[in-house]
Amino acid sequence: MQALIVIDVQMDFCEGGALAVPGGSEVVESINALMPEAGAVVLTQDWHPDGHSSFASQHSGKAPLETVEMDYGTQVLWPDHCIIGSEGAAFHPDLDTARADMVIRKGFRRDIDSYSAFFENDHATPTGLAGYLRERGIKELTFVGLAYDFCVAWSALDAAKLGFRVHVREALCRAIDADGSAAEARARMESAGVTLG
Ligand code: VGL
Ligand code: ZN
């Protein structure tokens, strides 16, 4: 069975949001159109407590897109976004959330970020999604959503590592594209055997 994994189609990643991804809302309608054909639909939701350690506001002298060294590695810093329960953390109002079998939240621990739907940014702490998919007999995953070069790419790479067959529908993703990050993500996914297109 095949699942559609919809990454972070939330207000803060759409136009006017705190961490707006250019063209973010453009993908919503086409993602909805894919849902009826999918064997399962999973939505992810970036879900940070106030004062999350990935926010530049928590690091004096640091601006968004600068980095800090955490004990789990280098972390890019972001504007405050997707605060638990806020409007910015809500799904885009046109996203067909009623079609979702499963909604998984990530990034809810203050001291560690989680781009991937499978592991937190230490690449070791599982979110539980792999177990959910395996228990349902799902072996093939199609990823869409925001942002292509961060949460989509990290999720797709982890899924490939975990042994799923992985596709990314690039036309249904939008990138932040800081410092060539979209091209780099694309190259990493290609060499990991992720099908793009
Ligand atoms: C994301 C940066 C910070 C994403 C989430 O959804 O790609 N990017 N938090
Ligand atoms: Zn985030």
pLDDT (tens digit per residue) in 122-140:
999 999 999 999 999 999 9
Over residues 104-131, the mean pLDDT reads 98
Question: Cα separation of 8 and 173, whole Å?
Answer: 10
pLDDT at 1: 92
Question: Cα separation of 49 and 53, whole Å?
Answer: 9
Percent of the chain scored above 70 by pLDDT? 100
Domain boundaries, the chain: 2-48+87-196
pLDDT band at 102 (very low <50, low <70, confident <90, very high): very high
Does the pTM surpass 0.95? The reply is yes
Q: Please work out whether the CB of residue 80 comes within 6 Å of at least one atom of ligand 1.
A: no
Q: Which two three-digit tokens encode residue 82?
A: 């997707």
ipTM: 0.98
Q: Please work out whether the CB of residue 83 comes within 6 Å of at least one atom of ligand 1.
A: no
pLDDT at 124: 97
pLDDT at 160: 98
Over residues 95-103, the mean pLDDT reads 98
Is 29 within 8 Å of 108 (Cβ atoms)? no
CATH 3.40.50.850 correct for 2-48+87-196: yes
**Does residue 139 carry a catalytic annotation?**
no
Q: Please work out whether the CB of residue 146 comes within 6 Å of at least one atom of ligand 1.
A: yes
Q: Convert 67-88 to b/e letters by CB count within 10 Å (16 or more is b).
A: eeeeeeeebbbbbbbbbeebeb
Average pLDDT of the chain to the nearest whole number: 98
Predicted confidence (pLDDT) per residue in 167-184, tens digit: 999 999 999 999 999 999
pLDDT band at 143 (very low <50, low <70, confident <90, very high): very high
User: Of the residues 106, 149, 158, 173, which is catalytic?
Assistant: 106
User: Of the residues 14, 151, 158, 173, which is catalytic?
Assistant: 151
Tell which residue, 175, 182, 172, has the closest CA to residue 4. Answer: 172
Over residues 91-111, the mean pLDDT reads 98
pLDDT band at 161 (very low <50, low <70, confident <90, very high): very high
